[in-house]
Amino acid sequence: MDDHGWNPAAERLFGYSAEEIMGKRINLIVPPDRTGESAGDPAPVAHGERIEHYETVRLRKDGSAVQVSLSISPIKSSSERSSAPRGIARDLTESRRTEQALRQQIEERRRIFETSQI
């Protein structure tokens, strides 16, 4: 991966600097149990297809898992003959926490309502 595809947001999310990730395979951030995922399959992107909002898990430099939404698009070279995949990873950690908190609040209110009806 070249440093053009690894920006400061990627550095914050995954913990690797552009220099550390440059020249390495992107599988460095893919958990071993997720290597067969369809978003990791370059074939659709190589044929010009986009993968949008694929929810999965990736690894940070410290080994911790992070839930992300991936969007992967083919980027054509200046010759238009070849394409390389470029991805955007969006951290889903905070939205998952918010969803969980909302589910808990709904459940608590449901229980309060049910007990008040007795």
pLDDT 10s digits, 13-67: 999 999 998 888 878 898 888 887 755 555 555 556 677 778 889 999 999 999 9
Predicted local confidence at residue 2, as pLDDT:
43
- Give dist(CA 75, CA 85) in Å, integer: 6
Predicted local confidence at residue 99, as pLDDT:
92
| 118 membership: H or E segment, kind and range | none
Candidates 3.30.450.20, 3.40.630.10, 3.40.50.2300, 1.10.240.10; CATH matching 3-92: 3.30.450.20
Q: Confirm whether pTM is higher than 0.85.
A: no
Domain spans, the chain: 3-92
Comparing 2-6, 73-77, 89-93, the range with the smallest average pLDDT is 2-6
Predicted local confidence at residue 33, as pLDDT:
87
Average pLDDT, the chain: 81
